[in-house]
Structure 1
């Protein structure tokens, strides 16, 4: 690979102190910078900690990057890549025999800017909103880039970001207050070429998604309710040995999260060139400052090392016989929902078959199952309408260009209704490519694991017919100390990666499975949870869509019919193996 990469290094790094050199070498930020609309010469900015004075090396996809260090006026490493000469892949730094965490460098063209502190204000609903950054979705019959430039000229704005596959472009408006912004948004929305305007409402977010009800007392039985260990044993046993004739396939997963703590023992083994071992699970992410962050916990359910520091990963348990799973943790910039979609587009274009969306929002005015208003993760009506249009464009693009990709979304923790599109996004979308996951916990009943009463719904988990399946909502988080017991985190955010990881494992067995077939296998293999509701539950308290006779071999009297669906990881893998018979 031929790359000419000028770098700007800070004087502080050239003369780093011995104390700084003692810090572990970590990449804490990797973002597009400079002209983010240039799709030929791509500029990236890297922020690192623990980089000492002296020589160091950057590697992309294992190949060394030839660099020209010199002093700069800022605190970032900047470099350029020729899009025609490079490929998306892991980037890491090396110095004095030490390697940093690998981060995923995407050459995708989708990127939007996050607002600075002085570019956000509080609106009439008391929500933090972007003052001068909005995105316009251009009607598909128009050249989006050209139309965005014309709109920018007309409104004395500037095009500063883009999601080209969705014909979406970010504008910086000359607005100094909300009245000016809202007036410009109204005028933009009335343009013939504009389908919708996306207003970003993004403020401080909770570091850990936590249900309001009491944590489970039977932590060791949470994952047992989904037969996780049985699934691990089945995958290892069925795919190991000379008699095995099943060829597995590497699968790439994208997690829309900020970062992962590589100082935690759960992730310490993922630094440097992870892919030198082709069969192992690899994690690519920016480094987090502490082990109990949301991204670290979600990623840990998939890839944490076993018995190292609090969490344990389903996919990492398959390393002995696995095909090599890539877990890419990326959220692009911190520009809220719009950035989530931009990062998702890039990940799909980089080959991700499964996206994990452990996030969602409610409209102001949404109510829970008791009729009380929801006061967390809420957005205004005008923001929700823009997000809905953006999500619709994403799923239309996904169906048209990448029909084999699945998105796994958390049902939410508002004790509300996941499928009401006027109140909840994105779980309310109806598409074969979107799987919605609710959360359950171990009950106090002394019954077998396949009994409907073995697990009960988490009180905070959203419910209704749009939820495809429930999974264990509680997990032990990673810790900074080896073999230390981590704090318990609960929420549908942590049920979601159990399903995402299982789908990846199923696809590694049979990559030809389509989203509708994956859903069918999940539902056919599911255990039951809750009471039988005969398809018309009273007071809309169904946990998931009820199991149908068609999902039980058309047996009208099957005892599972009418119950909600609970994840069975073991049986789903078994059905994935059986599905190979239909293509042999």
Structure 2
């Protein structure tokens, strides 16, 4: 009897472990963690997507795109791996999510526009002479406009025994896999391809999976510091709620929905800041919606950037500006996507898709410096640097993007972080993409609260964040420090600082301004931002002294041509409230 009892007792822990594992599996939330193009990447009429979905068991489930279930015969499922096939004739770009056992996954944005590039694996990269990780056998060709890009890329691929594996058709750019096993072989082929008459430029990728994201620098502010007060964040939310009304309900201003594209990897939907964005967000037409892959940690770069736009209020952590407008807003779509892990080229591919999907504002919280770039103290920058040959290719790719944007989508605005290298944002030999001079690119520097007890409108209320890049190319500065998200409801996340987080403050404001007056051009939007701006820094009479030119100086034309205005010559600090006020006033004036 004792033996029987002992034998049964030994089985109890094993049974308990099995039961715990079963319960844990049942409680695992339904999340889409990854989505990539797969199959024939060059085929457009029917596209295949491979997804990794956690919390999905072997029982029946539904995959919905734009609220419509995809046919079962177009879905294959193997553990966490799901493959879906979508016909271009039967669907259009939009949010996709999973439903099973009354659970809804996070919605992700599926673009059917077709631009996609392939990322290298760990076995397909090497260190170059600058000790920078670079792709060995994957390069992209920018084909001259006079040629059919697809046909010419295929011809060159056959000539050089390569394979076309990716493409950005609107930019006439095609990705090739070369028959190269080391950098010497790659460089020889790049030289030959670059001499082809039909090739405008060759893009060499030097990006690791995370390296294109802006790094943080410096110490975070005190926990009780209200950084966003320096940009009148709450005043702006209050003004929008008070002054505007829902479309069609008797108000004198009808707002329009705006889509924002955020070039980031993922967002943590387990954080209370994002927990209510699961499933079909558009059941409420006026609310802000977030579409993104799911992250495993709440303090990632993408979660924090997206939180500045859309984090829930009073849940701890972040508080999103556009989320604060939900009661009266038109319904903002915040689409978080980076296409693939193929670095800068993938960022551009994602941006092209999103613009073609109707995005009006792109948030680029990323940037790179050329090897040898120096900071304001004359020291070399040692992070987020790329070789000269890579920078040349990126510059050509970005030029093609902005030329296409101006030609085909002149109403789109790109908001870019100035960078955190204590360097110069506008020197094209050192910094991309902020050095581009185009009406459609806004560049944002970062500031932090000073220790002086002065009014918010006083130039001394905020000071430049020491790491922020500067110079005349910077259009405006905004608060660089923000609270991140947390997994615990009501808990304040850790502080994150950098121009990455100043950028979505400006991008969110621009989206709100567009919702009031959708026909504002990029030039008009910049004018309103600068006319409404508060000041920061010391006056230098249009001549930079001691690297204090934080932004382009405020001009008399930006202060009603008053040559004696005290703001003249100072740098510009974002005033979210005044910018919205001027936007409303512009509705009653001739453009």
Q: TM-score, normalised by structure 1?
A: 0.95
CA contact (8 A) 1:210 1:490 kept: no
Q: 1:172 aligns with which of 166, 171, 177?
A: 177
Q: Residue 92 of structure 1 aligns with which residue?
A: 97
Q: Matches of 2:388 and 2:331 in 1, distance apart?
A: 43
Deviates more, 1:514-523 or 1:529-538: 529-538
CA contact (8 A) 1:409 1:427 kept: yes
Deviation at 1:217, TM superposition (A): 2.2
Deviation at 1:70, TM superposition (A): 8.2
Q: Residue 420 of structure 2 aligns with which residue?
A: 413
Deviation at 1:319, TM superposition (A): 0.2
SS at match of 2:477: strand
Q: Matches of 1:502 and 1:527 in 2, distance apart?
A: 15
The alignment status of 1:503 with 2:539, answered yes or no, reads no
CA contact (8 A) 1:438 1:462 kept: yes
Q: Deviations over 1:522-557 (max 9, x none)?
A: 000000000011111224430000000000000000
Q: 2:405 aligns with which of 398, 402, 413?
A: 398
Q: 1:213 to 1:84 in 2, by over 3 A?
A: same
Q: Deviations over 1:10-30 (max 9, x none)?
A: xxxxxx955333210000111
Q: Residue 283 of structure 1 aligns with which residue?
A: 290
Deviates more, 1:437-446 or 1:68-77: 68-77
Q: Deviations over 1:178-220 (max 9, x none)?
A: 0000000010101000000000001253698554322222654
CA contact (8 A) 2:428 2:436 kept: yes
CA contact (8 A) 1:135 1:170 kept: yes
Q: Matches of 1:429 and 1:114 in 2, distance apart?
A: 26
Q: Matches of 2:136 and 2:176 in 1, distance apart?
A: 11
Q: Residue 5 of structure 1 aligns with which residue?
A: none
Q: Residue 116 of structure 2 aligns with which residue?
A: 111
Q: 1:247 aligns with which of 243, 254, 267?
A: 254
Q: Residue 9 of structure 1 aligns with which residue?
A: none
Q: 1:109 to 1:465 in 2, by over 3 A?
A: same
Q: Matches of 2:78 and 2:223 in 1, distance apart?
A: 55
SS at match of 1:581: coil
Q: Residue 424 of structure 1 aligns with which residue?
A: 431
Q: Matches of 1:539 and 1:236 in 2, distance apart?
A: 42
Q: Matches of 1:79 and 1:221 in 2, distance apart?
A: 46
CA contact (8 A) 2:245 2:253 kept: no
Deviation at 1:563, TM superposition (A): 0.1
The alignment status of 1:344 with 2:347, answered yes or no, reads no
SS at match of 2:588: helix
Q: 2:36 aligns with which of 24, 31, 36?
A: 31
Q: Residue 145 of structure 1 aligns with which residue?
A: 150
Q: Deviations over 1:40-92 (max 9, x none)?
A: 11111111000022111110000111213887678521121111221100000
Q: Matches of 1:202 and 1:544 in 2, distance apart?
A: 29
Q: Residue 466 of structure 1 aligns with which residue?
A: 473
Q: Residue 165 of structure 2 aligns with which residue?
A: 160
Q: Which runs of 5+ in 1 are unaligned?
A: 1-15
The alignment status of 1:543 with 2:550, answered yes or no, reads yes
Q: Residue 7 of structure 1 aligns with which residue?
A: none
Q: 1:366 to 1:71 in 2, by over 3 A?
A: closer
Q: Matches of 2:49 and 2:218 in 1, distance apart?
A: 43
CA contact (8 A) 2:77 2:83 kept: no
Q: Residue 6 of structure 2 aligns with which residue?
A: none
| RMSD after superposition | 1.6
CA contact (8 A) 2:292 2:335 kept: yes
Q: 1:82 to 1:212 in 2, by over 3 A?
A: closer
Q: 1:267 aligns with which of 271, 274, 280?
A: 274
CA contact (8 A) 1:207 1:294 kept: no
Q: Matches of 1:486 and 1:345 in 2, distance apart?
A: 33
Q: Residue 140 of structure 2 aligns with which residue?
A: 135
Deviation at 1:243, TM superposition (A): 6.2
Q: Matches of 1:70 and 1:81 in 2, distance apart?
A: 9
Q: Matches of 1:343 and 1:377 in 2, distance apart?
A: 20
Greater radius of gyration (CA): 2
Q: 2:495 aligns with which of 476, 488, 492?
A: 488
Deviation at 1:240, TM superposition (A): 3.7
Deviates more, 1:21-30 or 1:269-278: 21-30
Q: 1:465 to 1:95 in 2, by over 3 A?
A: same
Q: Which runs of 5+ in 2 are unaligned?
A: 1-20
Q: 1:354 aligns with which of 358, 361, 368?
A: 361
The runs of 4+ residues in structure 1 deviating greater than 6 Å are 69-74
Q: Matches of 1:467 and 1:86 in 2, distance apart?
A: 41
CA contact (8 A) 1:309 1:478 kept: yes
SS at match of 2:395: helix
Q: Size of the alignment, in residue pairs?
A: 569
SS at match of 2:584: helix
Q: Residue 12 of structure 2 aligns with which residue?
A: none
Q: 1:457 aligns with which of 464, 469, 475?
A: 464
Q: Matches of 2:129 and 2:267 in 1, distance apart?
A: 35
CA contact (8 A) 2:474 2:551 kept: yes
Q: 1:409 to 1:69 in 2, by over 3 A?
A: closer
Q: Residue 230 of structure 1 aligns with which residue?
A: 235
Deviation at 1:372, TM superposition (A): 0.3
Q: Matches of 2:22 and 2:362 in 1, distance apart?
A: 41
Q: Deviations over 1:125-161 (max 9, x none)?
A: 1110000000000000100000000000010000000
Q: Matches of 1:477 and 1:571 in 2, distance apart?
A: 26
Deviation at 1:297, TM superposition (A): 0.1
SS at match of 1:225: helix
Q: Residue 183 of structure 1 aligns with which residue?
A: 188
Q: 1:96 to 1:204 in 2, by over 3 A?
A: closer
